[in-house]
C-alpha cells in the first residue's frame, strides 16, 4: 500500500487496517497439564521399581527389565497403572 501524501510537510506515513489477532483457546489446558504431571509421577514410581512406563495409541504398558510387558497388556489406563504400582 502506498503512503498517503500529506501536505503539512511531515513524514509520510501509510495508513493500514489492523488485523484482528485470533483468541487462544485454553479449554482443557488444566486437564492436559494434570494428566501430564500424573504420567510423569507414575513414570518415576515405575522406574524406582525397575519398570518402564510406555505410552502408545492403544494405551499404557509397563515393561520389565527383560523387555516383556507386565501382565501382557498394552492397553492400560493411568488408573490401572496407579493401582498396579500401589499393590506391587
Contacts for 70 with CB less than 8 Å, ≥ 6 apart? 51, 61, 62, 63, 64, 84
pTM of the model as a whole: 0.66
| Within-domain flag for 17 | no
Q: How far apart are alpha carbons 24 and 39 in whole angstroms? A: 26
How many structural domains does the chain have? Answer: 1
| Within-domain flag for 43 | no
Residue 70 has pLDDT above 80, yes or no: yes
| Within-domain flag for 11 | no
Range of the domain at 57: 51-88
| Within-domain flag for 82 | yes
| Within-domain flag for 84 | yes
Contacts for 61 with CB less than 8 Å, ≥ 6 apart? 53, 54, 55, 69, 70, 73, 74, 75, 76
From the CA atom positions of the chain, what is the Rg in Å?
27
- For 3-42, write each residue's pLDDT tens digit: 555 566 777 777 888 788 888 888 889 999 999 999 999 9
Amino acid at each position: 500500500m502506498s503512503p498517503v501524501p500529506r501536505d503539512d510537510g511531515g513524514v509520510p506515513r501509510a495508513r493500514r487496517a489492523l488485523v484482528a489477532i485470533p483468541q487462544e483457546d485454553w479449554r482443557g489446558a488444566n486437564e492436559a497439564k494434570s494428566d501430564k504431571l500424573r504420567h510423569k509421577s507414575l513414570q518415576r514410581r515405575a522406574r524406582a521399581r525397575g519398570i518402564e512406563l510406555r505410552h502408545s495409541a492403544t494405551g499404557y504398558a509397563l515393561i520389565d527389565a527383560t523387555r516383556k510387558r507386565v501382565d501382557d497388556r498394552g492397553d492400560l489406563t493411568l488408573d490401572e497403572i496407579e493401582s498396579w504400582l500401589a499393590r506391587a
